[in-house]
Amino acid sequence: MRVDMLRKFRVSVPASSANLGPGFDAVGIALDLRIRASVEPASHFSIRFSGEHAPLHDGYERAILRAMARVNPELPHVKMSVVNAIPLGKGLGSSAAASLLGLIVASRAHGRPLRRSELAQLACDIEGHPDNALAALYGGAVVAASPAAADCVRLAAPKDLRALIVVPAIDLSTSDARALLPERYARHDMVFTAQRASLLGAALASGSWNALQSAMRDRVHQPYRAEKIPGLAQALELRSKDLIGIALSGAGPSVLAIVRSAQASRAVARRIEAAFAAAGVEAKALHLAFASRGAIVAGA
């Protein structure tokens, strides 16, 4: 596309929380916290970051550029101004958001907008699993075995509930978190997790929120990752009438708690923060809504 034909446009992509306990590499839910980019014609490509969670090194920029190269190996002649509100490397889908942002910007800037199904396939190819990528693309909650339409069910975001994210001051990369998982599992642990994964999907689809407290427990990844996240095991055992369900967010180290109201969110946050503090770890709470909309393009 010629630079003089391109009009300024904006893209935003939400954060997401994956797994929700037993839905390992299959379940994701979008959070109302976004990375946003303003894109306009320029004589050459440039990208500039700002915002509370602007990256401190070039790793995040490389992730966006790798995704853009999947559309066209040549960088478009645009100026990208990126404002990021998603904490990086904390289990909140920042990688999936970067991939989708790069794919959408490149496709629009090169004049070949991709269908949602194409974006889904490319984003999942980059990420290696569908949970964060599809939640960020479609919004709401997704239960997916692959990006294919027949293998993915999108569910509405729970409007009557709130998301509480507690981010501990711990660094744990996704690759390191996956390396903690065993090669083999006991049958009773797999039965336990399969039962709760089934219950999780049914609860999300039906709005049977009282089932989430049990449905968000698992024995596939959380017990092993808890070894590297002091305070996590104690946080996951918290119970309260206002706490619908609690789980490690993605590969961690953040915790996702689903609560009944904004007021309840603050009370539950104090208890989760106290669990981390007792283990000598500082933590910060984010009080969020679930995102009903996924990736958004405006002004194109």
CATH code, domain carrying 54: 3.30.230.10
User: Are 281 and 146 a contacting pair, CB within 8 Å?
Assistant: no
Same structural domain, 185 and 112: no
Give the count of alpha carbons within 13 A of 11, CB side only: 26
Residue 203 belongs to domain spanning: 162-288
What would the pLDDT profile of 61-79 be if each residue is shown by its tens digit? 999 999 999 999 999 999 9
Same domain? For 280 and 294 the reply is no
Tell me the residue type at 149.
Answer: A
Asked whether residue 176 falls in the same domain as residue 260, the answer is yes
Q: For residue 17, which of 148, 161, 195 has the smallest C-alpha distance?
A: 161
Query: Global pTM?
Result: 0.94
* Number of structural domains found in the chain: 2
Query: Which one is predicted more confidently, 191 or 2?
Result: 191
Mean pLDDT of all residues in 44-55: 94
Looking at residue 292, its pLDDT comes to 96
By percentage, how much of the chain surpasses pLDDT 70? 98
pLDDT of residue 174: 87
Q: Are residues 78 and 205 in the same domain?
A: no
Residues 115 and 39 in one domain: yes
29 shares its domain with 122 = yes
Q: What mean pLDDT is predicted for residues 11-28?
A: 98
Segment 100-127 mean pLDDT:
96
Judge if 141 and 250 occupy the same domain: no
Is 18 in the same domain as 139? yes
pLDDT computed for residue 300 by the predictor: 55
- Do 283 and 294 lie in one domain? The reply is no
What is the pLDDT at residue 143? Answer: 98
Within this chain, do residues 184 and 112 fall inside the same structural domain, yes or no? no
pLDDT of residue 293: 97
Please report which confidence band the pLDDT of residue 98 belongs to, taking 50, 70 and 90 as the band edges: very high
* Distances, alpha carbon 2 to alpha carbons 7, 43, 187, in Å: 10, 11, 59
Helix (H) or strand (E) holding 32: strand 23-41
- The mean pLDDT value of the chain amounts to 95
> In this predicted structure, what is the pLDDT of residue 172?
86
Q: Is residue 260 within 8 Å of residue 244, measured between CB atoms?
A: yes
